Structure 1
Amino acid sequence: MQVKAITPRGYCKGVVRAIEIAKNAQNEQQPIYILGMIVHNQYIVDALKERGIQTIDIPGQTRLELLDQIQHGTVIVTAHGASDQVFQKAKNKGLNVIDASCLDVIKTHDLIKEKLNEGYDILYIGKKGHPEAEGAISIDEKRVHLITSKNDIQMMDPNKHYVMTNQTTMSLYDVYDLCEYAKTILPHVTIEKETCTATKIRQEAIKNMEEDIDIVFIVGDPHSNNTQKLASIASEKKEVHMIESLDDLNINWLKGKKKAAVSSGASTPTYLTNQVIEFLHQFNENDPQTFFKQPIDLTKILD
């Protein structure tokens, strides 16, 4: 089968940094916990658990609430960032705190704090319940407003002065659309788009893929917002399947297909994406011997 491995794909610099920080934490005060998923990929969470690093992640609980589960040792703040309240609470509990926040997320937090001090309210385009959005909104829950749709913008006071920014992993096309809409109904809004470069170029690569591709596979965890956005953009023109790994690939999807494209979210291990690419390369729908899938080796996830 013909395969187009779309580039760039996979790990961004923030994910690489967060994983390295977690791997290097083994000599820190024991036990070691991660406050939520270090990045949104269950295979990475499982691989870190094999190294004795436990993830504390309870659906519906904020980072501040998750801290109640940790009484001593080291706590790692994930790549998604956290509010100052989280860091202060961890320090008050006597925990050793390691910050693995993505530098682009920190940049957005700094922007929000700066503009709040200048008297602006913040319109923050993000996904409700996402840890990155949670951290940004909690900077000032009264003056940082979560924007998920045009309806949210319509609820804003047109007499106020706003700065509009966004979660770094949002679709750059969705962000552009919401920003342009805000400018039509809010006379005092300033736009400070914060889509990270890695997210932007991955989305543009998907948008501009070759016309002769029959099927697209986006490899990544369903919790990953940037992975979901890649799949959404690709689905505008192509048949798309979002899979966590080769295990999820259904052979029936490939019947009658000549050329497949593969990309992956910014938190997807290269090993998992390469497994998919290698399988597709050797696949021949007329040869059942090519249907065999290699098992996943958890020891290679963090390589």
Structure 2
Amino acid sequence: MQVKAITPRGYCKGVVRAIQMAKNAQNEKQPIYILGMIVHNQYIVDALKKRGIQTIDIPHLTRLELLDHVHEGTVIITAHGASEKVFQKAKEKGLNIIDASCLDVIKTHDLIKARLDEGYEILYIGKKGHPEAEGAISINEKKVHLITKKEDLQKIPANQKYVITNQTTMSLYDVYDLCEYAKTILPHVQIEKETCKATQIRQEAIKNMDEDIDIVFIVGDPHSNNTQKLASIASQNKEVHMIECLDDLNIEWLKGKKKAAVSSGASTPTYLTNQVIDFLKQFDESNSQTFDKQPIDFTKILD
């Protein structure tokens, strides 16, 4: 089968940094906990657990509330960032803190704080319940407003000065549409788009894939917002399947297909994506011996 491995794909610099900081934490004050999924990929969470690093991730609890379940040792702040209240509470509990926040997320937090000091309110385009959005909103819950759709903008009083910014992993096309709409109904609005460069170029690569591709595979965890956005963009004109690993690939999907494209979310282990690419390259619909899938070598997840 012909395979187009879309580039760039996979780990961004923030994910590489966060994983490396977690791997290096083994000599820190024990026990070691990660406050939520360090990046949105269960394979990485499981691989770190094998190294003795526990993830505290309880549905519907904020980072601040998750801290109630950590009483000693070291706590790692995930790549999604956290509010100053989280850092302060961890310090008050006597915990050792490792801040693995993505530098692009920190940049957005700094922008929000600076614009608040200048008298603006913030319209933050993000996904409700996402830890990155949670951290940004918590900077000032009265003056930082979560925007998920046009209807949210319609509820905003028009006489206030606003700055629009966004979660770094959002679709750049969705952000553009919301920003353009905001300009038509809010007379005093400034745009400060904060989609990170890694997210942007991955989305553009998906948008501009070859015309003759029959089927697209996006490898990544369903919790990963940037993975979901890649799949959403690709699905506008292609058959798309979002899979976590090679095991999820259904042979039936490949019947009658000549050319496949593969990309992956920014938190997807390169090893898992390469397994999918290698399998597709050797796949021959007329040869059942090419249907067998290699098992996952879990020792390679953090490579």
TM tier, shorter chain? Answer: over 0.9
| Equivalent position of 2:80 in the other structure | 80
Hey, what's the Cα distance between the residues in 1 that align with 2:285 and 2:61?
A: 46
- Equivalent residue of 1:286, what SS? coil
| Equivalent position of 1:210 in the other structure | 210
Read off the aligned partner of 2:218 and give its amino acid letter.
I
- Equivalent residue of 2:46, what SS? helix
Read off the aligned partner of 1:112 and give its amino acid letter.
I
| Equivalent position of 2:226 in the other structure | 226
Read off the aligned partner of 1:13 and give its amino acid letter.
K
Hey, what's the Cα distance between the residues in 2 that align with 1:26 and 1:85?
A: 26
CA RMSD of aligned residues (A): 0.3
- The within-5 A match list for 1:1-303 is 1-303=1-303
Hey, what's the Cα distance between the residues in 2 that align with 1:70 and 1:266?
A: 28
Hey, what's the Cα distance between the residues in 2 that align with 1:260 and 1:243?
A: 14
Deviation string for 1:19-64 (max 9, x for gaps)? 0000000000000000000000000000000000000000000000
- Equivalent residue of 1:232, what SS? helix
TM-score by length of 1: 1.00
Q: How many residues align?
A: 303
Shift of 1:297: 1.0
Hey, what's the Cα distance between the residues in 2 that align with 1:247 and 1:97?
A: 37
- Equivalent residue of 2:25, what SS? helix
Instruction: Extract unaligned runs of 5+ from structure 1.
Output: none
Deviation string for 1:61-118 (max 9, x for gaps)? 0000000000000000000000000000000000000000000000000000000111
Read off the aligned partner of 2:194 and give its amino acid letter.
E
Deviation string for 1:244-264 (max 9, x for gaps)? 000100000000000000000
Hey, what's the Cα distance between the residues in 2 that align with 1:70 and 1:285?
A: 52
Hey, what's the Cα distance between the residues in 1 that align with 2:266 and 2:260?
A: 20
Hey, what's the Cα distance between the residues in 2 that align with 1:154 and 1:39?
A: 33
Shift of 1:279: 0.2
Deviation string for 1:153-198 (max 9, x for gaps)? 0000100000000000000000000000000000000000000000
Deviation string for 1:214-261 (max 9, x for gaps)? 000000000000000000000001000000000100000000000000
Hey, what's the Cα distance between the residues in 1 that align with 2:279 and 2:93?
A: 49
Hey, what's the Cα distance between the residues in 1 that align with 2:120 and 2:293?
A: 54
Hey, what's the Cα distance between the residues in 2 that align with 1:208 and 1:127?
A: 25
